[in-house]
Amino acid sequence: MSGSTSEETRGLLAQRWVVWVLPVVTVLFHGASARGYGVFRDELYYYACGQHLDWGYVDHPPMVALFAALSGALFGPSYLALRFLSALAAGGTVLAAGETARRLGGGGWARLAAQLATALAPVFVALFGTYSMNGLEALLWAGMFAIAARALDGGAPRLWLAFGLLAGLALETKVSGLYLGAGLAVGLVVARRWDLLRERRLWLGGGLALALFLPHLVWQALHDLPTLEFVANARARKIAALAPHEFVGAQLLQVGPVLFALAAAGAAWLLLARAARPFRALGWMALAVLAILALSTAKPYYFAPVWTLLFPAGAAAVEAWSAGRRQATLRATALLLIASTALLAPLAKPLLPVESYLRYAAAFGLEAGSDENQEVGRLPQYFADMHGWRELAESVARVAATLPPEEREKACVVAQNYGQAGAIDFYRAELGLPPAISGHNSYWLWGPGDCSPEILLILGERREDHADDFESVELGGLHDCVDCMPYEDDLPIWIARGLKVPIADAWAGVRNYI
């Protein structure tokens, strides 16, 4: 082997090694900061879903529950174990974003910039900070963008089969995968990619995605389409409505000004640059998804997976624009600007103690808020929903301990929402709690089980809200929590005895899909 060939080989190995640095650092960062303020409301629910494996749930497809079940089987009720899955997904998403930059024609700098932007974007710091379907969705969309970029640029047609496989898994993770499919269809038509629309394997990939999604669709049909009712209720009563321009403006807060500018440059490059002509359909796809979300009632972070395309495109655009005598200075400046986004990380993930966070947020002029129609306290809803769950379980345990043994054995806890019910079930074995039931989302589908109408511990509401339904209702205790959502504070725990109607009849009236 010649010296030059050996040098090229060493350079290639070094390049491959560098590609993995930021993904690994991302995993380590999320792993080291996983504890945060405590378990998150939705994590409690996903863990409960994992204990009731099915092909669907009222508010999501089965993938998030499947991984929660795997985590539970290996580690028991541990939110840190769940968050390690999110840390891995974060690393995979960063890796895929770099690959997309390469597939879009970018070099080593573009790949590094795309990875750095994806690792530091506040929306991703937040989404990968807890376990949810949103992190899994971002990973799958990032993978699809890398595949699509290669396929659009003359790659083997069989790549569309791989795209379809990931699309099917994305649909089994979150139904918003339909937005990507619709957006890509629009993009291919507007970009006049008739060659691909005639490609048999593109349609086979779509068929594969549908086949993978079919079990969930069948489940929906067998359960009277609960997700449609859930979405309608959420849009009407829960999600804070934004005008289209407000939704677009909210994206600035999702990623910060520097990365927003990078993404805007990426969108412009995809739609206008001659070098990006093969990828034009992806630019139109991004605009189509943005339009769908902006014209509907959606939370701003629903657009998050598309950043895994726009960041790589922006990186490729900056790399091409900066080519020349001053490219080293320009690219170093751009990397420093991207890296400055790290200053926003404590606003997206609980990296600071509460009091320190409040001072930090005040320095940026930020006030506590929510994407939902909910009153908040000192903390934004995302952080507040990490407070008070173990304390709630302990409060219920203290009330349950006052019951006579014969009542304690057959008691159940009636919760107002899946966070409360999930907390009771999550800590049930450790604290010796009764099982939880609730009319909220999939908890309603799981039914009242073997709960006895003779004795129920009811969380929340006023005594008069329950008095007509039971022979007796007495206050067993009061749950207080610090920095939780206000509606979870000062929560009465009622001891209700002697339900006056069969529990199955009462159950029919408590369904709450929202």
In whole angstroms, give the CA distance from residue 113 to residue 341.
12
Residue with token string 């389409």: 225
Residue bearing the bigger pLDDT, 6 or 105 = 105
Residue with token string 């994305």: 170
Give the confidence band of 16 by pLDDT, cuts at 50, 70, 90. confident
**Torsional class of 419: left (φ above 0), alpha (ψ -120 to 50), beta (otherwise):** alpha
Query: Cβ(475)–Cβ(492) under 8 Å?
Result: yes
Q: What are phi and psi of 435, to 5 degrees?
A: -70, 160
Beta bridge partners of 42: none
Burial class (CB in 10 A: 0-12, 13-18, 19+), 223: middle
Closest CA to 142 of 131, 121, 156: 121
All residues at 6 or more sequence positions from 450 whose CB lies less than 8 Å from its CB, including other chains:
none
**pLDDT digit string, tens, across residues 307-345:** 999 999 999 999 999 987 788 888 999 999 999 999 999
Q: Is the pLDDT of residue 3 over 70?
A: no
How high is the pLDDT of residue 57? 98
Q: Is the pLDDT of residue 74 over 50?
A: yes
- What does pLDDT average to over the chain? 95
Residue with token string 């109408």: 453
Order of strands, sheet of 412-415, starting from the edge strand that comes earlier in the sequence: 436-438, 412-415, 455-459, 491-499, 470-479
Query: Cβ(418)–Cβ(440) under 8 Å?
Result: yes
**pLDDT digit string, tens, across residues 148-162:** 999 999 999 999 999
At 156, the amino acid letter reads: A
Q: Write out the two tokens for 354.
A: 């509460």
Three-state DSSP at 471 gives strand
In whole angstroms, give the CA distance from residue 391 to residue 462.
21
Q: Write out the two tokens for 131.
A: 């376990």
What's the whole-number mean pLDDT along residues 226-242? 96
**Torsional class of 474: left (φ above 0), alpha (ψ -120 to 50), beta (otherwise):** beta
In whole angstroms, give the CA distance from residue 181 to residue 164.
10
**pLDDT digit string, tens, across residues 161-186:** 999 999 999 999 999 999 999 999 99
Task: Write out the DSSP string of 132-170.
Answer: SHHHHHHHHHHHHHHHHHHHHTT--TTHHHHHHHHHHHH
Query: Cβ(129)–Cβ(114) under 8 Å?
Result: no
